[in-house]
Amino acid sequence: MLPVFLLILSGILDFGFMLYSQMTVIGPAREGARAALNVKAKNAAEFATIPAVAAARVTTVIAGTGLNAGSLTTTTTCVKPATPPATPPPCAFPAGATQVRAGDSVAVTLNYRYQTFFPLLFGNTITMTSKVQMVLY
């Protein structure tokens, strides 16, 4: 009876840590998108800093959570509302634009590889994903 109890207990613990990781990944994605929107880009050089600003904010927020920052991948894309493509390009200053305008949006996607404690139950790694898109008003 004890081995079955320990197996169930270990599954509950691993699932709890996995759920904590998923919930923790959501906050930094939101913070990265918010930081990216605060960049008031008026030229191509300033616009090109948006992914770096978002990634820096995500790294800062993740540092205090206990998650492994090496297992985290951050992707930042900029979406123009007039003709949103199926797959948004990385942030690049639009041709002919003089500044970022209201209606433009930034999407920050985080992928986190969670290492399980007991690979027999859930496998070695599970990928947690959080995507947040915010519109500049």
User: What average pLDDT values come out for the chain (137 residues) when binned by 10 residues?
Assistant: 88 88 90 84 75 87 84 81 55 59 79 83 81 81
Distance CA 98, CA 42 (A): 6
Q: At 99, which amino acid appears?
A: Q
Verdict on whether the full-model pTM lies above 0.85? no
The reported pLDDT for the residue numbered 111 is 92
Cβ of 18: how many Cβ atoms within 10 Å? 17
Distance CA 22, CA 26 (A): 7
The reported pLDDT for the residue numbered 72 is 86
Backbone Cα Rg of the chain = 19
Helical (H) or strand (E) element with 77: strand 72-79
Helical (H) or strand (E) element with 134: strand 125-135
Q: At 83, which amino acid appears?
A: T
Distance CA 59, CA 45 (A): 22
The reported pLDDT for the residue numbered 47 is 75
Handedness of CA 50, 56, 20, 129 (dihedral sign): positive
Could you tell me if 72 and 111 are in contact, meaning their C-beta atoms sit under 8 angstroms apart? yes
Could you tell me if 36 and 53 are in contact, meaning their C-beta atoms sit under 8 angstroms apart? yes
